[in-house]
């Protein structure tokens, strides 16, 4: 395999380890400076030049795109994709992960735990937004910050409002996020390669610092994740389109919460902590997948006139409930089921004997006109009911105080106690 590692820091620990791991396995590997590429566009012939010379053929590319060069770096990766070169992480997935707001928006619809987050622009919306995420203390994050930079913990509502107003006056976009108190300055970094977690460590903040980043003094310890944490990390990376990712999770009372998904995770901290060959796992995965370059499925399948990709929802009361895919008549209508989404589970290439249930979502390819007729009208999404905290005082006593009466309020006993258990 001929591998190109895109990196502006050839002597960094991560780049050196990846190069060493590739060479140990007998691969031809070169580290190429991402900013030294020139992109040539011509009808039917996308091409790349590196240091004024036409780039030779490569089998695979491993992008290590820094935050400061995201736009140009993703453009280079996108050009490799158009040249049918396997990229460990696609340009779209790198863009998704680099923008905290975009990544949380994508994850929020997939039943993956995330801290309650809000994004506002109008000054009048700031205080209500802080209240919606649980009030102070509250975490304020720059949307494109990295390595803990631009992450602030505000201990009061007034302080939070002042910080947000200041950042917005400097043309900065910020997220307002609930502070997960039970995490106690700890988080978990899970290193995902393909469809599995190859290593994980817990990072613990020291002193008054609430950020657990290693370069900020956080200490690390190896950790073995249970299946829930593993599945959450892998699903988060896959939903964003990342094959190699560092997934940061908070340990919430109700399960793991995705804090961030990193498309260029560092190796030094996790290899030093776990003593595992993470770089070798990355290279082995790329070597196994090199013949399967990234394909924009919707782009490729919608080339045929009248055909396209659509999602068919099976609502309650649908005539398809209880039928198998074979008996549904979809194939006779020239509609092919690519995947079946059932709750949080994805079933690729479902068998014809698979029975359809209410709530199933079918990703299909076929004639758009026929699929349009099968798609029910949009149903307005039910909003989650607002849940308020109970008052500190007993409810009856609080009502008594607010009423201003001198006599206590008596609640009559129910005639039938069984009704009011």
Task: Name the domain count of the chain.
Answer: 4
Domain assignment of residue 384, yes or no: no
Q: What is the CATH number of the domain that holds 317?
A: 3.30.70.1450
Domain assignment of residue 207, yes or no: yes
Mean pLDDT of 44-65: 90
Sheet with 361-367, strands from edge to edge, namely 307-313, 361-367, 336-342, 345-348
Predicted model pTM: 0.77
Q: What is the per-residue DSSP string for 392-408?
A: SS-HHHHHHHHHT-SSP
Residues 264 and 357 in one domain: no
Enter the tokens of residue 366: 């076929």
Distance CA 165, CA 122 (A): 10
Q: What is the per-residue DSSP string for 3-45?
A: EEEE-S-TTSHHHHHHHHHHHHTT-EEEEE-GGGEEEE--TT-
Quote the domain boundaries for residue 200.
Answer: 183-289
Residues 38 and 88 in one domain: yes
Mean pLDDT of 40-60: 88
CB atoms within 10 A of CB 76: 25
Angle at 293 between CA 71 and CA 367, to 5 degrees: 95
Residue 319 pLDDT? 87
Residues 83 and 10 in one domain: yes
CB atoms within 10 A of CB 11: 8
Q: What is the CATH number of the domain that holds 128?
A: 3.30.1490.20
Q: What is the CATH number of the domain that holds 91?
A: 3.40.50.20
Per the prediction, the chain carries an average pLDDT of 84
- The band of 275, judged by pLDDT with boundaries at 50, 70 and 90, is very high
Residues 326 and 241 in one domain: no
Distance CA 263, CA 4 (A): 17
The DSSP 8-state label assigned to residue 387 in this structure reads -
Domain assignment of residue 411, yes or no: no
Q: What is the pLDDT of residues 209-258, one digit of tens each?
A: 655 555 555 678 899 999 999 999 999 999 999 999 999 999 888 889 99
Residues 155 and 208 in one domain: no
Least confident of 282-286, 323-327, 334-338, 380-384: 380-384
Residues 278 and 304 in one domain: no
Domain assignment of residue 213, yes or no: yes
For residues 57 and 409, the model is more confident at 57
Q: What is the pLDDT of residues 391-412, one digit of tens each?
A: 555 555 555 555 555 555 454 4
Query: Of the residues 179, 211, 226, which one is the last residue of a structural domain?
Result: 179
Residues 6+ apart with CB under 8 A from 322: 355, 356
Q: What is the pLDDT of residues 83-107, one digit of tens each?
A: 889 999 999 999 999 888 999 999 9
Distance CA 318, CA 173 (A): 44
Domain assignment of residue 57, yes or no: yes
Domain assignment of residue 17, yes or no: yes
Residues 6+ apart with CB under 8 A from 401: 393
Outline where DSSP puts E strands in 273-357: 307-313, 336-342, 345-348
Domain assignment of residue 408, yes or no: no
Residue 415 pLDDT? 46
């Amino acid at each position: 395999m001929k591998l190109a590692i895109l990196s502006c820091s050839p002597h960094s620990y991560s780049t050196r380890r990846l190069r060493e791991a590739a060479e140990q396995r007998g691969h031809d590997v070169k580290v190429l400076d991402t900013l030294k590429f020139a992109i040539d566009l011509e009808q039917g012939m996308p091409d790349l030049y590196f240091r004024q010379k036409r780039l030779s053929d490569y089998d695979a590319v491993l992008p290590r795109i820094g935050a400061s060069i995201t736009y140009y770096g993703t453009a280079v990766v996108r050009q490799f994709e158009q040249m049918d070169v396997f990229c460990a992480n696609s340009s779209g997935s790198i863009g998704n992960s680099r923008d905290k707001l975009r990544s949380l928006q994508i994850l929020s619809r997939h039943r993956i735990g995330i801290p309650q987050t809000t994004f506002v622009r109008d000054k009048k919306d700031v205080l209500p937004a802080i209240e919606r995420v649980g009030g102070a203390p509250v975490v304020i994050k720059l949307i494109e910050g990295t390595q803990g930079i631009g992450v602030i913990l505000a201990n009061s509502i007034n302080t939070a409002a002042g910080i947000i107003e200041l950042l917005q006056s400097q043309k900065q976009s910020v997220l307002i996020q609930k502070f997960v108190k039970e995490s106690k300055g700890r988080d978990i970094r899970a290193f995902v390669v393909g469809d599995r977690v190859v290593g994980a460590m817990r990072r613990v903040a020291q002193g008054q610092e609430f950020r657990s980043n290693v370069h900020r003094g956080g200490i690390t310890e190896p950790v073995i994740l249970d299946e829930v944490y593993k599945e959450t990390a892998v699903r988060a990376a896959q939903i964003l389109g990342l094959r190699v990712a560092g997934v940061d999770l908070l340990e919430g009372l109700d399960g793991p919460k995705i804090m961030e998904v990193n498309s260029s995770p560092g190796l030094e901290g996790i290899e030093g902590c776990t003593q595992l060959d993470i770089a070798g796992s990355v290279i082995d995965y790329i070597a196994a997948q090199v013949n399967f370059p990234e394909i924009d499925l919707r782009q490729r399948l919608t080339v045929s006139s009248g055909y396209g990709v659509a999602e068919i929802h099976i609502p309650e009361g649908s005539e398809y409930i209880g039928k198998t895919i074979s008996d549904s008549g979809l194939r006779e209508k020239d509609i092919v089921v690519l995947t079946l989404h059932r709750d949080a589970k994805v079933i690729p290439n479902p068998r014809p004997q698979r029975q359809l249930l209410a709530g199933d979502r079918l990703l299909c390819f076929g004639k758009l006109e026929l699929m349009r007729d099968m798609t029910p009208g949009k149903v307005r999404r039910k909003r989650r009911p607002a849940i308020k905290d109970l008052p500190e005082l007993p409810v009856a006593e609080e009502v008594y105080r607010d009423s201003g009466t001198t006599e206590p309020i008596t609640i009559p006993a129910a005639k039938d106690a069984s009704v009011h258990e």
